[in-house]
Amino acid sequence: MGEPVEIASPEAQRLEGEPAARVIVAGASGLAGALAARLVWQHPRLELSAVTSRSEPGVALCELHPRIRVPLELGELDLDAAAETADTAIVAYPHGAAAGTVAALRGAGLRVVDLSADFRLASLETYGHWYGEHTAPELLDGAVYGLPELADHMALAGAGLIANPGCYPTAALLALAPLAEAGLAGDVVIDAKSGVSGAGRGGAEPLSFLNVTENLTPYAIGGHRHEPEIAQGLERMGRPGGVTFVPHLVPVDQGLLASCYVALAEPLAAAELGELYRARYAGEPFVEMLERPPSIREVRETNLCRIHAVPSADGRRAIVFAAIDNLWKGAAGQAIQNLNLMLGLAETDGLT
């Protein structure tokens, strides 16, 4: 497992000195896992020790995903080998399937960043409602929710397990945090649109080309799994209560735009709203405030979240747009950002 294989003109891993950690990417055959492997492979301080897959063992990752350019063979996860050859792991398994693997890796002494929803929700009851039975509930209390711009960096640095946020919650919570923290956020409506890569590499029959191309479709309007994650994040910032969240599928491969409409506790002028956001995100390397609405193309293949906030004409509502790449800041890029902070590295390492 993890042996280089021969491919045409492979990229070599370029480390700068001794690695800060050796990393396994479990579930590297999926879109987010493959990108995580590429980002570790290109990272100056991380060594990619193995890539694993439950469905594609024996295949070179660069053959399964030619653009990834990682010349390692996918293997089955070997916990005994993992304990000897790695210090950390990124787990990119589906919801429900990740928890057991995360528990096994933690038992083997590895620190983990998990991309699934299995450790994002603090309430076991809420998790059960949306995802079913949890197979490693004993790890919930120790998991740190890893939205770095809103998290305690000391908690991330000391974490053995970081729960990587979902893509929709990442964009929505970054869009809403300044208002929620200031006690200004009342009723919230989130109209979010994402590309088809959010469904994963295989997708589903409704995501066939004929149904997606030249089309725009709302889905999960009766309740989306990311809704309780968004509500939980807002509650932690002092804004209790639910939200209205409607996701839409758009005919692009990757990218996400969250349009948020927020009733304000008190009217704000444009200058006041802008200053609130600029002050909140000053010094955050991956959040950029714009004087115009962002588009998904401008954040493609970056770990950026670009935000524009403007009041309504009467100042009683805020309209906030946040754009991210759902595979980067919404998944694998944020996992690297979290792994950097976990290991005491600069959070921008391997992402600039």
Q: Can you spell out the DSSP letters for 242-283?
A: --EEEEEE-SSSS-EEEEEEEEESS---HHHHHHHHHHHHTT
Residues 113 and 76 occupy one common structural domain:
yes
Residue 310 scores a pLDDT above 70: yes
> What's the CATH code of the domain at 126?
3.40.50.720
CATH number at residue 193: 3.30.360.10
Asked if residue 193 and residue 114 are part of one domain, the reply reads: no
Residue 237 lies in a domain: yes
pLDDT at 261: 98
Residue 87 domain flag: yes
Structure confidence at residue 210 (pLDDT) = 74
pLDDT value of residue 6: 45
Structural domain contains residue 264: yes
Whether 175 is in a domain gets the answer yes
Each residue's pLDDT tens digit, 208-245? 777 888 999 999 998 999 999 999 999 999 999 999 99
pLDDT for the residue numbered 105: 98
Q: Are residues 81 and 192 in the same domain?
A: no
Do 190 and 267 lie in a common domain?
yes
Do 310 and 204 reside in the same domain of the chain? yes
**Domain match, 198 and 312 both:** yes
pLDDT at 33 over 60: yes
Q: Is 15 among the domain residues?
A: no
What pLDDT is stored for residue 201 in this prediction? 52
pLDDT for 209: 79
End-to-end alpha carbon distance in the chain: 30
Instruction: From the candidates 62, 167, 260, 305, give the one annotated as an active-site residue.
Output: 167
pLDDT in the model for residue 346 = 97
Q: Are the CB atoms for 329 and 305 separated by under 8 Å?
A: yes
pLDDT score at 3: 53
* pLDDT value at 352 more than 80: no
Q: In what order do the strands lie in the sheet with 46-52?
A: 46-52, 21-26, 88-91, 111-114, 161-163, 144-145
pLDDT digits (tens, 9 = 90+) for 243-283: 999 999 999 999 999 999 999 999 999 999 999 999 999 99
Residue 333 maps to a domain: no
Mean pLDDT (the chain, rounded): 94
Domain range spanning residue 277?
A: 168-326
Is 82 among the domain residues? yes
Task: Kindly state whether residues 195 and 318 are assigned to the same domain.
Answer: yes
Please report which confidence band the pLDDT of residue 5 belongs to, taking 50, 70 and 90 as the band edges: very low
- If asked whether residues 56 and 177 sit together in one domain, one would say no
Q: What is the mean pLDDT of residues 323-342?
A: 98
Q: Same domain, yes or no, for 174 and 286?
A: yes
Pair 344, 51: CB distance under 8 Å: no
Reduce the DSSP state of residue 21 to 3 states and report it: strand
Are residues 106 and 242 located together in one domain of the fold?
no
Q: For a pLDDT cut of 90, what percent of the chain falls above it? A: 89
Best CA proximity match to 271, nearest among 220, 213, 230, 310: 310
Q: Is 305 a catalytic residue?
A: no
Our count of domains for the chain comes to 2
In Å, how far from its chain's centre is CA 269? 32
The answer to the question of residue 189 being in a domain is yes
Residue 200 has pLDDT above 80, yes or no: no
Q: How far is CA 75 from CA 1, 78, 94, 113, 153, in A?
A: 5, 8, 18, 20, 33
258 strand-pairing partners: 192, 322
What local confidence, expressed as pLDDT, does residue 199 receive? 65
State which H helix or E strand residue 172 sits in. helix 167-181
- 320 with 174, same domain? yes
Instruction: Report residue 14's pLDDT band, with 50, 70 and 90 as the boundaries.
Output: confident
What pLDDT does residue 212 have? 84
183 in the same domain as 131: no
